[in-house]
Amino acid sequence: MHLYGNKHFFEKIGGAKTINKVVEIFYDRVEKDPYLRPLFPKSLHHGRQMQKLFLEEWLGGRPLYSNRGREKGAIQGGMHGIHYRFVIPVKAAGRWLHHMAFALTEAGIEETDRSGIMEVLAPIAHEMVNDGVDFPQLLKALTLTSNGDIDAIKKLIGKTPEIVAQRGTAGRTLLWESARNGHLEITRLLINKGANPNVPGGAPLLLTPYALAVSRGHNNLGSYLMDHGNIMDIFTVCFLGNTDDLRAILTENRSSANSLQPYEDINPVVPLHYAVHGGNIDVVEILLSFGADGKPYKSELTALARSMNRKDIVSLLEKA
């Protein structure tokens, strides 16, 4: 995982002892925060334990958090995949970051290290913002979108405009659900209301509405999204098998062959995952030729390829 630190960094800031201190200070402040406390469960014990495991691994320590998550099948979709059931206002993200910054300081972490940690935590915290309707209403809205009920969706947006940006189970937005089912008119409505076409969703792989629409044969809808802000990132082109676009991206920046999917902030997911999921051996070959490192994911990806009966991809990955 190690999206920010490494073992050297972890040891530099004081290891697990410092992480434990940070978490205890943070949760003690949450306990006394009249605005933030109601957003947390009644008991904070489990949250304290999980945050200790997460921060230790994230900052370069033992991989206890992701190992536990794999056992329980509960870490796909990044941090949002864990928090999607909760309505989280912008102010809450700000309060969370305020208490974390205080905890890092009180725990004795040096200023340069604190700044580096907060620089990475800030966008993750703001990504957790999920303001609007409560979870049961959001599920209903996703179902209405899936069924193509545009009149009901118009009423919901009129009553709660924030619902356009909300993410539900596996990061699904109304736009994602509309693209999945080929509802062009609802897609137009959502884009006109400010929906972001580049927010991915789904499991086991996060796909943008464009990637999802095209993969399911909704090409007119895909063309509309291309004309209204869709960005052809490396993950999309690898999944769809667009080799020309991939070569152009890699020629401009070879290091992007090992890019981490930014919405997967727990498990590392790289372009090779998208290439294998898409069944695109040509894309796998191109990525490897540009320096993609498949070794950390070999067991996972070869198992996936075998399940797809793609012996050619298995052979290629095993040689990498």
Other CB atoms within 10 A of residue 31 CB: 11
For residue 204, whether the previous peptide bond is cis, meaning omega lies within 30 degrees of 0, is yes
Helices (H) and strands (E) in the chain, counts: 19, 0
Amino acid 171: pLDDT? 79
Amino acid 75: pLDDT? 44
- Do 209 and 257 share a domain, yes or no? no
**Is 1 within the bounds of a domain?**
no
Average pLDDT over residues 204-210: 93
pLDDT tens figures, 99-116? 999 999 999 999 989 988
pLDDT tens figures, 70-83? 544 444 455 655 66
**Is 93 within the bounds of a domain?**
yes
If you ran DSSP here, which 8-state letter would residue 289 be given?
Answer: H
Q: Where does the pLDDT of residue 303 fall: very low under 50, low under 70, confident under 90, or very high at 90 and above?
A: very high
- Do 49 and 117 share a domain, yes or no? yes
Beta bridge partners of 62: none
- Do 120 and 163 share a domain, yes or no? no
Amino acid 293: pLDDT? 95
pLDDT tens figures, 133-164? 777 888 899 999 999 999 999 999 999 998 99
Q: How many domains does the chain have?
A: 3
Question: Does residue 3 have a pLDDT over 60?
Answer: no
| 54 in Cβ contact with 65 (< 8 Å) | yes
Domain of 310? 235-319
**Is 305 within the bounds of a domain?**
yes
**Is 295 within the bounds of a domain?**
yes
**Is 209 within the bounds of a domain?**
yes
**Is 44 within the bounds of a domain?**
yes
- Do 142 and 44 share a domain, yes or no? no
Closest CA to 54 of 101, 108, 16: 16
Q: Where does the pLDDT of residue 180 fall: very low under 50, low under 70, confident under 90, or very high at 90 and above?
A: very high
**Is 2 within the bounds of a domain?**
no
- Do 63 and 111 share a domain, yes or no? yes
**Is 194 within the bounds of a domain?**
yes
CATH code (residue 162): 1.25.40.20
Average pLDDT over residues 196-213: 92
- Do 123 and 175 share a domain, yes or no? no
Phi, psi angle pair for 196, to nearest 5°: -90, 115
Question: What are the CA-CA distances from residue 4 to residues 127, 187, 254, 260 (Å)?
Answer: 17, 36, 21, 12
More confident: 119 or 240: 240
- Do 80 and 144 share a domain, yes or no? no
Amino acid 285: pLDDT? 98
CA 130 from chain centre, in angstroms, equals 14
CATH code (residue 278): 1.25.40
- Do 261 and 273 share a domain, yes or no? yes
Other CB atoms within 10 A of residue 151 CB: 8
Q: Where does the pLDDT of residue 33 fall: very low under 50, low under 70, confident under 90, or very high at 90 and above?
A: very high
The chain-wide mean pLDDT, for the chain, equals 89
Average pLDDT over residues 10-35: 95
Q: Flag whether the pTM goes above 0.85.
A: no
The residue among 211, 231, 251 that closes a domain is 231
| 30 in Cβ contact with 44 (< 8 Å) | yes
